[in-house]
Amino acid sequence: MTGPPSDTGAVERSEALALHRTMVMIRVFESRVEELFSAGKLPGFVHTYLGQEAIAAGVCSHLRPDDYITSTHRGHGHALAKGMAPAALMAELYGRADGACRGRGGSMHVADFSLGMLGANGIVGGGFGIATGAALSARYRESGQVAVCFFGDGGINKGTFHEALNFASVHRLGVVFACENNQYAQFTARQRTTAVDDLAVRAGAYAMAGETVDGNDVGAVAAAAARAVDRARAGSGPTLLNMETYRFGGHYVGDAEVYRDASEVDEHRARDPIRRWEAVLAERGWLEEGERAAVWEHAAGVVDEAEQRAEAADLPEPDSALEDVFTPVRSPPVRAGAEVGSDGRGEAPETRRMTFGQATVDAMARAMRSDASVFTLGEDISWGGNFGQFRGLVDEFGPSRVVDMPISEAIIVAVAVGAATAGLRPVASMSFVEFTLGAMDEIVNQAAKFRYMFGGQVSVPMVLRASDGVLRSSAGQHSSSLEGLFTHLPGLKVVAPSNPADAKGLLRTAIDDPDPVIYLEHKKITAQRGPVPTGDHRVPLGSAAVARPGADVTVVSYSAMALNALAAAEELASEGVDVEVIDLRSLVPLDFETVLESVSRTRRAVVAHEAWRFGGLGAELAAQLHAELFGELEAPVARVGAASAPIPFSPPLEAAVVPGPAEVAAAVHSVLA
C-alpha cells in the first residue's frame, strides 16, 4: 500500500517544513486528546486522526483561507490543518462555553465557518452534497473558491457519494473528493464491503479525474492535492483522490479492536507518515535534530496551554441551552391580520385574481429579481414543475438560477444546505412531500441542526417546497400530509398556506428568512383562484389569520383543511351555529396567542387537519389548550384527522379515511352537545 518516500523535488523547503509542523501539531494534539479521554476528562466519544496526518496537512496546504472543507467524525486533523486554533478546538472537546461551537457540537461536530470549515459531520458521507453545494455557490458567485470533501472509505458506498459525484461532474464544479482510505469502515475491513480494490476507478463512471495516492507520504499527497485544487480552481471540474492510509487507533478511543490483528497495526505503524517525512527532510539537509525537537516541543507547549485554558474555562450556562435553534429576528413579527402589502404600511393593497400556483411563481420571480443570491433547484423545474409552480422562471432567469436536478432527493437538499451556508438562498423543490423521505438525513441532521450544532456560527437560509395532501386517488405514495413530522424537528420552520394570497406572502417571507423553512403547498388547491396583492406582498411567519369570526366555537386548521373548515362553518351557520375559523398558516413558529384568545371567548374548540389524527399536530394544540384553559372549557377539544391507514386509491376508500367538511361539522356538534 505505501512504499518508500516520493521524490520531494517539487516541494519547496518552506512548504516541506510547514507540512512537518502541521503534522506534528495534529499528532501531539490527538495524542493528548486520547490521554485526556482515557482519563475521563472529556465527555462523549472521541475518534482521533492519529496516523492520517499527512492527508489533512497535504491537502489543506493548497487551500486558500476562504476555500471550503467538509469533514467527518474524525475531524480534528482537518480543523487544525485548516487553521482552527488548538485552544478553541480543545475547549470544544471539553464542552466549554468558549469552544469553537460553544460546547454544542463536541468532538464529532467541530466547525469554524470563518475558516471555510463547514463542519465535521457525525453522519457518514454527510459532507458530499454540502461540499458540492458550496462549490456550486462559488461557481455562481465567481469567487474562485474550491471545496474539499474529506470522507472515509466507508462513505464511498453511500448513495449520496454517487449522487454528489454525478452532479459535480455534470456541472464541472470545483470539488475535490478526498477519500481517507484507512482500510476500515468502523469495524469492517474495506475488502468485505467494497467490490473494487482501487477506489479511484469510480471516478471514471462520472467522467471526472481520479487518482490513487500514498496517503502516508505527505509529499505525494501535497502534489496530488495541488493538481486537484488547480483543476477545480481553473473550472476544469472535480477530482476523486483515493488516499491510502491507516488509522493507528481503533474506530474510537476505547475500541477493543478485536477485528484486526496487532501485527497488522504494527506493520502500518512502521509506515508512520511523520517519521517518513522527517527522514526525507533530514536526508535533504532541511531539518536538523535540534530543529526537529523544537517543532515537537513547540507543539507540546501549544497543546498544554490549550488544555490548561480548557480546564479553567466556564461551562455553558444552562439557561443558554435554547439559544441558536433559530436565527434571532431583528424586528418583531407583525400581528395577525397586519400583513405587509406593496406599500409596506399594512394598508389594503391592490389585488389581482390568480391561482395558488401563479401566486407562488409571482413570489419566486420577485424574490429572484430583488436578490441575486436566490436560486431554485429541483426535478423538472425548468419545465414548470408538476403543478406549474415554477412556470416561466427559466425564461427570465436562465438555467444557472433555475437548476434542473437529477432524481436524487438527497443531493437536492444537501446541495441546498451547502449553498445556503456558502452565501446563497436556495429554494429546493421536492415535488411530492413523500419524496422528502429520501432526504431525511439531509433535512433532519444537516439543515435543521447546523445553526445550533455549530454554536450559532451559521444560518441555513433555504426553503424546501413540497406538494402534500390528497388529490384524486393518487394513493399511498402521493397523498401524505407529513407536517407533523417536520414540526417535531427543532430548527425547522413550517408553513402551510390555504389560499393564493397567503401562498405568495408566506413564500416571499420564507425566502427572506435566515432559517430553513418547509413550505407545504397542498395539491388540491394549487389551481384555486383568489385575490392576490400585486405588489411585494409578505405574510409574517408565526401569524395566524381569523378566516371567519364567530362566537360559539373555534375551529383551528390550516392548508386545504382550512377551506373545509370554512365550508363547514357556512353550513353550520344555517343551523344557527356561529363558528370562528382560525387559519394557522404558519405551524412553526406557531401563533398560539391568536388561538388562545379565540378559544378563551368561545370556550369550545375543534382542531382539524388532513394528516393522520393519531400523533398529529392537532394533539399538540389540544394539549396546549387544555393546559392553558383547564376548567374553563365547556367541552374537551375535539380533533379531526385522517384515519390510521395509508391513503387508499379507490374513491370510496379514500373518502372513508380522509376527512372533509362533514367530519368538521360533526366535531363541532360534538363539542356543542
Q: What is the CATH number of the domain that holds 666?
A: 3.40.50.920
Q: Per mean pLDDT, which range of 580-584, 621-625, 653-657 is the poorest?
A: 653-657
CA dihedral 639, 644, 648, 651 (to 10 degrees): -30
- Residue 525, in any domain of the structure: yes
Query: Over 90: is that where the pLDDT of 587 sits?
Result: yes
- Residue 321, in any domain of the structure: no
- Residue 423, in any domain of the structure: yes
How many angstroms separate the Cα of 361 from the Cα of each of 231, 365, 497? 38, 6, 15
Q: Of 163, 409, 521, 654, which one is the catalytic site residue? A: 409
> Do residues 612 and 575 share a domain?
yes
What would the 3-class secondary structure string for 355-399 be?
EHHHHHHHHHHHHHHHCCCEEEEECCHHHCCCCCCCCCHHHHHCC
Which residues, including other chains, have CB under 8 Å from residue 144's CB and lie 6 or more apart? Answer: 138, 233
> Do residues 391 and 446 share a domain?
yes
> Do residues 194 and 274 share a domain?
yes
Q: Is 478 a catalytic residue?
A: yes
> Do residues 103 and 205 share a domain?
yes
Q: What is the mean pLDDT of residues 60-69?
A: 97
CA distance 447 to 440: 10
Query: What is the per-residue pLDDT for 338?
Result: 41
The residue ranking higher by pLDDT, 252 or 465, is 465
Most confident of 1-15, 144-158, 323-337, 556-570: 556-570
CA distance 427 to 560: 23
Q: Which helix (H) or strand (E) holds 212?
A: strand 209-214
CA distance 306 to 296: 15
Query: What is the per-residue pLDDT for 6?
Result: 52
Query: Over 70: is that where the pLDDT of 332 sits?
Result: no
The residue ranking higher by pLDDT, 339 or 74, is 74
pLDDT in tens, 252-297: 787 777 777 888 777 878 889 999 999 999 999 999 999 999 999 9
3-state helix, strand, coil split of the chain in percent (to 5) is 45, 15, 40
pTM: 0.92
pLDDT in tens, 16-58: 999 999 999 999 999 999 999 999 999 998 999 999 999 999 9
Residue with cell 400523533: 615
pLDDT in tens, 518-529: 999 999 998 899
Residue with cell 382560525: 582
Looking at the chain, the whole-number percentage of residues with pLDDT higher than 70 is: 95
Query: What is the per-residue pLDDT for 26?
Result: 97
Query: What is the per-residue pLDDT for 92?
Result: 96
Q: What is the mean pLDDT of residues 235-252?
A: 89
User: What would the grid cell of residue 118 be?
Assistant: 463547514
- Residue 315, in any domain of the structure: no
Q: What is the mean pLDDT of residues 139-155?
A: 94
Query: What is the per-residue pLDDT for 335?
Result: 40
Q: What is the mean pLDDT of residues 59-73?
A: 96
Query: What is the per-residue pLDDT for 344?
Result: 44
> Do residues 459 and 496 share a domain?
yes
Query: What is the per-residue pLDDT for 3?
Result: 44
Contact between 110 and 92 (Cβ < 8 Å) = yes
CA distance 334 to 351: 20
Backbone torsions φ then ψ of 6, nearest 5 degrees: -75, 165
> Do residues 526 and 575 share a domain?
no
Last residue of a domain, one of 466, 498, 533: 533
Backbone torsions φ then ψ of 42, nearest 5 degrees: -115, 135
Mean pLDDT across the chain? 92
> Do residues 562 and 511 share a domain?
no
Q: What pLDDT band is residue 336 in, cutting at 50, 70 and 90?
A: very low
Query: What is the per-residue pLDDT for 334?
Result: 45
- Residue 5, in any domain of the structure: no
> Do residues 111 and 24 share a domain?
yes
Look at the chain and report how many structural domains it folds into.
3
- Residue 237, in any domain of the structure: yes
Last residue of a domain, one of 481, 500, 533: 533
Query: Over 60: is that where the pLDDT of 103 sits?
Result: yes
The amino acid occupying position 189 is: A
Query: What is the per-residue pLDDT for 588?
Result: 97
Q: Is 211 a catalytic residue?
A: no
* CATH number for 280: 3.40.50.970
Query: What is the per-residue pLDDT for 329?
Result: 77
Query: What is the per-residue pLDDT for 4?
Result: 45
Query: Over 90: is that where the pLDDT of 594 sits?
Result: yes
Q: Of 478, 522, 537, 609, which one is the catalytic site residue? A: 478
CA dihedral 382, 386, 388, 392 (to 10 degrees): 0
Q: Per mean pLDDT, which range of 340-354, 395-409, 601-615 is the poorest?
A: 340-354
CA distance 657 to 650: 11
> Do residues 509 and 558 share a domain?
no
Q: What pLDDT band is residue 59 in, cutting at 50, 70 and 90?
A: very high
Query: What is the per-residue pLDDT for 187?
Result: 66
Q: Per mean pLDDT, which range of 169-183, 246-260, 448-462, 493-507 is the poorest?
A: 246-260
Query: What is the per-residue pLDDT for 158?
Result: 86
Q: In what order do the strands lie in the sheet with 579-583?
A: 545-548, 579-583, 553-557, 605-612, 638-642
How many angstroms separate the Cα of 410 from the Cα of each of 431, 436, 557? 13, 8, 31
Cα Rg of the chain, angstroms: 28
Query: Over 90: is that where the pLDDT of 176 sits?
Result: yes
Contact between 275 and 8 (Cβ < 8 Å) = no
Query: What is the per-residue pLDDT for 572?
Result: 97
> Do residues 288 and 409 share a domain?
no
What would the 3-class secondary structure string for 213-231 be?
EECCCHHHHHHHHHHHHHH
- Residue 313, in any domain of the structure: no
Strand, helix or coil for residue 566: helix
Half-sphere exposure of 434 (CA within 13 A, CB side): 12
Instruction: For the chain, report the end-to-end CA distance as a whole number of angstroms.
Output: 79
Last residue of a domain, one of 489, 513, 533: 533
Query: What is the per-residue pLDDT for 342?
Result: 40
Structural domain that includes position 553: 545-672
> Do residues 89 and 139 share a domain?
yes
Q: What is the mean pLDDT of residues 597-611?
A: 97
Query: What is the per-residue pLDDT for 8?
Result: 56
Contact between 220 and 233 (Cβ < 8 Å) = no
> Do residues 252 and 215 share a domain?
yes
Query: Over 70: is that where the pLDDT of 67 sits?
Result: yes
Q: What pLDDT band is residue 429 in, cutting at 50, 70 and 90?
A: very high
- Residue 323, in any domain of the structure: no
Closest by Cα among 528, 514, 510, 526 to 464 = 510
